[in-house]
Structure 1
């Protein structure tokens, strides 16, 4: 049995991680105090929970993770005290401080099959179906429909239009009532669409996984419980749109800093040219990398200097 160790860093990372562990407990039938009921049917009747949880001597299941900010939460009895690491340090919503000083030692470079080159490492996450409980009563989406939804901007976690870019690789994980035949048919249909383009050197970059356990929802959440769902990670040149927006916002912020020299003290000792300018110069390179991969500026979602004011 393989083991997954999760490390959640920063305020947003810890909050998202805490929500993930709540969902893991619901999926495997583990209570907030770490106890699993004797009825094994709740957890699926197997020991798959060992991938994320370690069983202690008293029958308590604790996450195999390093996490904090859960000591006073609902699931405070779930985590083992010896696996809690406490520290202090705040970036004060300053990206340069978190990236270049406090967070520099915990930044890790990794390679996956979604990343063809080291500098092209910004996957786009998509989930479908995003549907409310009221709407779920009247319709159940098929495998083809949720697959098509993954390529729509409304289902993406980053605001960009994938129709303006080219895909390098796609990794899809299906859950629930899904069979390989339907998945292969849905992907074959996707490849025939002209609105979804792949780079010339990677025409069939799909990797697919199927988990027959239906997705679980958090009680009181906004998402409805559905029979099937899919999560996709893709590497597309369209994400250059996000960098162009960030480029424009940085220019506006940096102009204000230059006009108000006294705000430089908020950088906590760093010189302006030491971190902010260095990071600013990386944005055009990130966009340029997408243009080179896509072989066409018009299809990569790149916005020129003249159009940046429209972002």
Structure 2
């Protein structure tokens, strides 16, 4: 089988980008399997994702990467060349609500999510048995309510040690109910995804679905986004909604909301590990 790669890139938009990229691949004995591109009229940037097979055995991985780096530099590209068959390494973080964690673990075990999961981190012990049932190391890093700045810094330093020692590509906050510090957000920039209900900023704090029930909402939903120091305002990756009505109790709304959260987060994670998400300032480009 030929090696397969996924190339993602963004650069200033101008004529001839697709021609030069596809020409480079053809000249190096590569066969394009699928390709997608988008030019943003607002940001004046061009985005592209190409899945290709390297069919010329005389063109080594090192030569392919070095030669494309030269092309990318000449075109002011921000480009990444990924091994398409390499499973990204994902770390899950969770607190005391486990529906998203359980859903992602099931998808991973079923082969629906092509990742490796070398670590689960939590500030509580509720899901250590679930982690053990999947033979995944569970790291309990407690953080008391009202903890000092020093205690928070020490806990986050330990989290980053786990990220580094396990070569983590993606951190998923699967209902991890701690606010990450700005330095932590910066350290995980572009590789940490969070999930939350889509009522923000209307219903903050505890029991948002109960608050929504009191206001008689007709739509509930979920948002998956990249983590930034602007709380719950990072670049949005995916959203979805479900209709609800006056006859539904708060517990029913909560159950529906959790189902939507699972689906939305799973989509965002899958698109990330398939290298389909490109950052576009405060937004994302998602090639589906």
TM range (shorter): under 0.3
Larger Rg: 1
Between the two structures, name the one with larger relative contact order (CA 8 Å, sep ≥ 6).
1
Greater helix share, structure number: 1
More strand by share: 2
Report the TM-score, using the length of structure 2 for normalisation: 0.27
